[in-house]
Chains A and B, each alone.
Chain A
Amino acid sequence: MLRADVEVDRRDFTVRAAVEVAPGERLALFGPSGAGKTTLLEAIAGLVAPRAGTIELAGRVLTRTSSPRVAVPAWQRRVGLLRQDPGLFPHLSVKANLAYARSSRTRTGATADGPGHSGGPDGTRGTVSELAELAAALGIGNLLGAMPARLSGGQQHRAALARLLLAHCDALLLDEPYSGLDVALRRTLTALVVRLVTERGVPSILVAHELADAQAFATRMAVIDRGELLQLGPPDQVVLRPASVRVAELVGYLGFAAVADQPGVVAGIHPDRVVAGRAPDRGLVLEGSIAASRPAGAGWEVDLAVPGVRGPSAVTCRLPDQPGSSGSPLAVTALGPPLFGADGTALTAGPSAATGAAPAAPAPAPVAGGVAATYGTREARAEGTGR
């Protein structure tokens, strides 16, 4: 179990977060660049010192700022960190890189940590075969004699992952490791990490600023913005039921429409959760005119100008069929949209997050004809969240 409840000072704000990750669980820290996600990882790894808080891992206290103070140095933490730069030692062969931790732990680890670690360093027995097996499993078995500079980016990442796993860390921290790679390779490597983390039963945390990366990895997702932990929950829950307008914006809601019979209440419109046509039993009907459209993926992205009380504003949605030309009228239905009160927080009595074909139960009153007003400018919405 990895527990972290810390406050870390940064130049412009303080990162405050409390997370708990069970063995084998995969937590994604999702948020925009510069939100403080990496800072949190570095605090757990012991690379930056938190101003206040505690960090516990596998029954050991790694950091405690209250008395009695504890600050276990990074080299005794048994925390593995993988960054975007694989960080292989350029002067050592791939094999020596993989074996790097082995030769450290056999000397320092045994005395520093004592008992209580499963699958730990047991001298030399089985280590050579473990290295060879893991290298083969990761597809770098024939590269052990090569120098890191000879490896491709994907191979370097595989080697870096193998090196971490051979170090038998008690926790695995991944700081956007694959964001520089192409999509196919990113998928392969993420799937590989997921499999290995589950097999080994270590708690792991992934930092991501792309929602897709977080979703592909996580069993739970935490949304962080400017150092604040805004929401923590299963990935689908966070996306379908954002806790606030700010979270909704971060996970990809591109428009907010006023709900006709509930003053001050807005519905979040996610472009992927919109179907063409009027289906009042499935959600919120929006009517307006097409402002612009463009191909997006295998379908079309449409900016829909919805006339409202405070003037028209664009709601973006993705539709499978090619829409009409600019200016032509269009009616769409936002499926079970989350509702937010005037203060920007989610209303609990909103539509259910049920997915699939079943109609959402208490749908908001369908809009008769273009009375939906948007929630205001982006700046106004940001203020509304109180951040």
Chain B
Amino acid sequence: MTSGPRAVRSVSGAVSVAGALVVWVLLLGPVITLLTHISGSAIASSLSAPGALQPLVTSLEAGGVTLVVLLLICTPLARMLARGTLPFPRVWEAGVLCSLLLPPLVIGLLLVFMVGPYTPFGELIGHLNLSAVNTFLALVIAEVYESAPYYVLGAQAAFASVDPRLEQQAALLGDRPRRVFRRVTLPLAAPGLAMALAVAWARAMGAFGAVVVIAYHPYGLPLQIWTTLQATGLPSALPFALVLLVVALPLPLAAYIWSARAQSRRRG
């Protein structure tokens, strides 16, 4: 913001600002299009249909469970990756990258062979009368697999940005490791962790590729959009797209604002 007026003073500066504006508007194009092609009556009729809001609830629930799972199992991994406390750290990182590079659709296919009803895992949870195909559990598994690499890499960067000498100093001042983590590591990594979590949330809410293979039911929002699109066409699918945006965006937005404020508070 402060560099804007300064850049406009020269011709080349004005050109580069204009160029940046064009790219920015193009990136926001889909959102703008959505807002211009949707009418209030369409929203009302789409959302008032019986059971129309059930996918929203399903998506929120699955997304929430996914975030909790990521926080619990992936945060320690990210911290160990960042601190280099694991043997052969490159191998571990390559593994995380590998899962990031898998197309979601492929993840879904492979998950069927991994946790489907005729696999050891499937039989194991079958004894508990559970199934990892076309269930809420399957939806969560698919969302975890689609979002975990993004969270791990983001959280790893967040932890790596914490100066280890600050943690040493905290220890020398009398804090045992868990207190060092709570009082120094976590607060310093928190802005980065929040952003990583926000990205993971957006991935989980929008998860489609793996979900359509392994968890066609129960419908989450993305599948509802897909089936509505196939059944009744584009215009009736748009309201659900808007709903997806509205529920998926607040958390990343809040995380962004919060982490920006935390950074500026540190600058005093």
Known contacts A91-B187, A108-B176: does B168 contact A100 (CB below 8 Å)?
A: no
Q: Write the A133-146 contact mask toward B (1 if CB under 8 angstroms, else 0).
A: 00000000000001
A342 to chain B minimum Cβ distance, whole angstroms, is 46
- Chain B CB within 8 A of A75 CB: yes
Does A147 lie within 8 Å of B175, measured CB to CB?
Answer: no
Does B176 lie within 8 Å of A89, measured CB to CB?
Answer: no
- Chain B CB within 8 A of A74 CB: yes
B261 to chain A minimum Cβ distance, whole angstroms, is 12
Does B268 lie within 8 Å of A150, measured CB to CB?
Answer: yes
Q: Is the interface of B mostly helix, strand, loop or mixed?
A: helix
Which partner residue on chain A sits nearest B177 by CB separation? Answer: A75
Q: Write the B162-179 contact mask toward A (1 if CB under 8 angstroms, else 0).
A: 010110111111111101
Known contacts A147-B266, A147-B268: does B174 contact A45 (CB below 8 Å)?
A: no
Known contacts A85-B165, A147-B265, A149-B267: does B179 contact A74 (CB below 8 Å)?
A: no
Q: Which of B52-82 contact A (CB under 8 A)?
A: none
In the bound complex, what is the Cα–Cα distance between A75 and B262 (angstroms)?
A: 28
Please indicate which of the listed interface residues A85, A90, A147, A148 has the most CB atoms of chain B within 10 Å of its own CB: A90
Does B172 lie within 8 Å of A75, measured CB to CB?
Answer: yes
In the bound complex, what is the Cα–Cα distance between A105 and B177 (angstroms)?
A: 14
- Chain A CB within 8 A of B188 CB: yes
A40 to chain B minimum Cβ distance, whole angstroms, is 16
- Chain A CB within 8 A of B14 CB: no
In the bound complex, what is the Cα–Cα distance between A80 and B188 (angstroms)?
A: 22
Does A89 lie within 8 Å of B166, measured CB to CB?
Answer: yes
Chain B residues within 8 Å of chain A by Cβ, number: 24
Does A87 lie within 8 Å of B174, measured CB to CB?
Answer: no
Does B173 lie within 8 Å of A163, measured CB to CB?
Answer: yes
In the bound complex, what is the Cα–Cα distance between A101 and B179 (angstroms)?
A: 12
Chain A residues within 8 Å of chain B by Cβ, number: 30
Known contacts A91-B188, A91-B266: does B173 contact A101 (CB below 8 Å)?
A: yes
In the bound complex, what is the Cα–Cα distance between A81 and B169 (angstroms)?
A: 7
Please indicate which of the listed interface residues B166, B169, B174 has the most CB atoms of chain A within 10 Å of its own CB: B174
Q: Write the B146-169 contact mask toward A (1 if CB under 8 angstroms, else 0).
A: 000000000000000001011011
Does A108 lie within 8 Å of B179, measured CB to CB?
Answer: yes
Please indicate which of the listed interface residues A74, A81, A167 has the most CB atoms of chain B within 10 Å of its own CB: A74
Q: Which residues of A contact B (CB under 8 A)?
A: 45, 47, 73-81, 83, 85, 87, 89-91, 100-101, 104-105, 108-109, 146-150, 163, 167
Q: Which residues of B contact A (CB under 8 A)?
A: 163, 165-166, 168-177, 179-180, 183-184, 187-188, 262, 265-268
